[in-house]
């Protein structure tokens, strides 16, 4: 049995059940210590948080990982600070778990702690902190995000671009448009292209960058560009999206078809009709739905011609389109 006086924390204010669990935190067996952490967490007693935080320094990486995981259930400045410090742990699993717990933060007060770590010299810390700041949407995160867009490591630039998309600050549009077109890393370009979707005004740098992204060497960038143009309802990009219907990758064609439906420009009708006979059923379905959104009666014969498509999802999409255009399902 462990002597209470030998424990590194005071148990005098806790009930017998909690005291018994706390004693197991100094057991020689790391498995016992790890399970004790789970039992402490189950008590949901904020007065027991200090021993959990202390477990982030346990000799066993398994125990430290468990401590980083269970701390996600609470949110206070000291805990956020402790989790940020755990991002420097020598064990990758502990660092990854701490980053995951930080990504679940919801309170703005937590963001103030994160902001103290956002410019850390360790890139992995920057990546985790920038990601954790996303849902908090703190205006103060804008400047650090802009600075991080020029970081030498793509992982940091990617998180910075993603965070700027969550912040929805129009001041970032020009920089995001530049990154979307010029960054050497395709994942960063893809993230920047998606981040441009928050734009409230179709300014030239945004539209030009997205149209350029439709010709990017990476199909994943082209796919997100088509999706973003649809989200923005950028009518000026109709021709560029029509051209994207011939993209070598069906995923890009699908997003282009969906975007053209959202734009609602009848000029895209005949190009979409061409996809109604495509070998990939998802493309046939998307083209039918897009044609319904265009509302152009001139495409009715083409839709009626594929009303008996072998794929039930395509047939359903055709019925929806016919209903939208002339009010009749067949």
Assess contact for 217 and 187: CB atoms under 8 A.
no
Q: Which stretches of 168-249 are DSSP H helices?
A: 173-182, 186-195, 204-213, 219-232, 238-244
At 44 the pLDDT is 83
With contact defined as beta carbons under 8 Å apart, do 139 and 169 qualify? yes
pLDDT-derived band at 8 (thresholds 50, 70, 90) equals low
Of 52, 129, 54, the residue nearest 88 (C-alpha): 129
Q: pLDDT tens digits, residue range 209-228?
A: 999 999 999 999 999 999 99
Residues comprising the chain, all counted: 330
For residue 15, name the pLDDT band (cuts at 50, 70, 90).
Answer: confident
Closest CA to 17 of 35, 43, 50: 43
Tens of pLDDT, residues 280-327: 999 999 999 999 999 999 999 999 999 999 999 999 999 999 999 987
- Which pTM value belongs to this model? 0.87
């Amino acid at each position: 049995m462990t002597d209470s006086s030998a424990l590194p924390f005071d148990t005098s204010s806790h009930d017998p059940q909690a005291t018994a669990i706390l004693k197991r935190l100094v057991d020689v067996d790391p498995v016992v210590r790890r399970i004790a952490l789970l039992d402490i967490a189950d008590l949901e007693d904020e007065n027991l948080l200090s021993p959990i935080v202390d477990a982030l320094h346990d000799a066993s990486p398994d125990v430290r990982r468990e401590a980083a995981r269970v701390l996600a259930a609470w949110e206070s400045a000291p805990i956020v600070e402790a989790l940020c410090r755990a991002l420097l742990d020598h064990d990758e699993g502990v660092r990854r778990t701490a980053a995951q717990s930080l990504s679940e933060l919801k309170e703005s007060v937590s963001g103030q702690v994160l902001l103290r770590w956002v410019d850390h010299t360790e890139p992995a810390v920057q990546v985790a902190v920038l990601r954790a700041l996303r849902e908090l949407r703190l205006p103060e995160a804008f400047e650090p995000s802009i600075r991080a867009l020029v970081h030498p490591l793509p992982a940091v630039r990617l998180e910075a671009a993603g965070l700027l998309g969550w912040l929805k600050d129009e001041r970032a549009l020009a920089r995001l448009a530049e990154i979307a077109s010029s960054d050497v890393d395709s994942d960063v370009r893809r993230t920047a292209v998606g981040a441009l979707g928050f734009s409230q005004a179709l300014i030239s740098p945004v539209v030009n960058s997205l149209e350029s992204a439709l010709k990017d060497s990476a199909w994943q960038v082209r796919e997100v560009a088509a999706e973003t143009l649809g989200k923005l309802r950028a009518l000026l990009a109709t021709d560029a999206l029509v051209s994207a219907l011939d993209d070598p990758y069906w995923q890009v064609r699908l997003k282009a078809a969906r975007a053209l439906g959202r734009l609602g420009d009848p000029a895209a009708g005949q190009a979409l009709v061409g996809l109604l006979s495509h070998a990939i059923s998802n493309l046939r379905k998307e083209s039918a739905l897009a044609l319904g959104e265009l509302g152009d009666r001139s495409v009715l014969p083409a839709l009626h011609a594929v009303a008996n498509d072998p794929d039930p999802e395509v047939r359903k999409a055709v019925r929806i389109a016919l209903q939208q255009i002339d009010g009749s399902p067949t």
